[in-house]
Amino acid sequence: MISVKINHRIVLLIALILCASNFSSRAQDATEKSDVTVIHRTTDFELSGDGKSENWNNTKWLQLTKRKGLVNYNTQAKLLYSDQGIYALVACEDKKITATLTKDFADLYTEDVVEIFFWTDESTPLYFEYELSPLNYELAILVPNFKGDFFGWTPWHYEGDRKTRHATKVIKDEKGSTTSWIAEIFIPYALLKPMENVPPKPGTQWRINLYRIDYDDGSSSWTWKPVETNFHDFERFGTFQFE
């Protein structure tokens, strides 16, 4: 039998280090949870694609940060909610529109696109993904994601009050050169059924992220909240609270 002499000072030091580490981790989690953005209520309104509705004046821009790529375009977004659904506005600085796909539910992410993800219930690895191209074609899918193993499911009976509304506009200067494009989106709660916490109530929190991909000079991308692996790092989404 080997006799081991324990230095109680070392044991105490190790215990203090572990305690400090755990506290730091909890503090970081608390900080992340406290980083909440308020989404304001609105009445329902029509989408024109230019973002000029007065309703948009009731909320501030969210800045998307470049994740990778060579171009340095400014990208901003706004969100509002009504009794019927979620409104999104995305403004994309751009000098060249890369968009040839002319069919809904195509692989829009292979060309210029904006994307928004809703994770409404943190107890379930299930979220909604929506994409819109400058040509106003869409992709709407429900995504189950089990430890990075995911695939999208398209909606059934996609009609009536389950159908989205969307509009886009390419902005040009006086010389006819492209300067930006704008996307306006309305996603009805009826489309999100049967996801939990839908429709939201005042005080409800959803995890959300916003993205953009551009193909002017290779592939460049932007995110509202940073992700590590890809856009489907849903546990890194930001938190919105409905006012």
**At residue 9, what are phi and psi to the nearest 5 degrees?**
-65, -40
- pLDDT of the residue at 34: 56
pTM of the predicted protein model: 0.85
Q: Which residue has the higher pLDDT, 214 or 18?
A: 214
Average pLDDT of the residues in 194-198: 96
What is the distance between the alpha carbons of residues 78 and 57, in angstroms, rounded to a whole number?
10
> Does 239 have pLDDT greater than 60?
yes
Q: Do 181 and 169 contact (CB within 8 A), yes or no?
A: yes
Q: What is the distance between the alpha carbons of residues 34 and 66, in angstroms, rounded to a whole number?
A: 24
Whether 149 shows a pLDDT value over 90: the answer reads: no
pLDDT of residue 26: 38
Q: What is the pLDDT of residues 100-117, one digit of tens each?
A: 999 999 999 999 999 999
pLDDT in tens, 214-229: 999 899 999 999 998 9
What mean pLDDT do residues 92-97 have?
Answer: 98
The yes-or-no verdict on residue 148 having pLDDT over 70 is: yes
134-149 in b/e form (b: 16+ CB < 10 A) is bbbbbbbebbebeeee
DSSP state of 166: E
Whole-Å CA distances, 238 to 62, 127, 207, 241: 12, 13, 5, 10
Summarize pLDDT for 60-81 with one digit per residue, the tens.
999 999 999 999 999 999 999 9
Q: Which residue has the higher pLDDT, 12 or 201?
A: 201
Please give the pLDDT value at position 116. 98
pLDDT at 6 over 60: no
Among left, alpha and beta (phi > 0; psi -120 to 50; other), residue 160 is left
Task: List domains and CATH numbers for the chain.
Answer: 36-242 (2.60.40.1190)
Mean pLDDT score across all residues of the chain: 89
Could you tell me which residues are beta bridge partners of residue 212? 114, 222
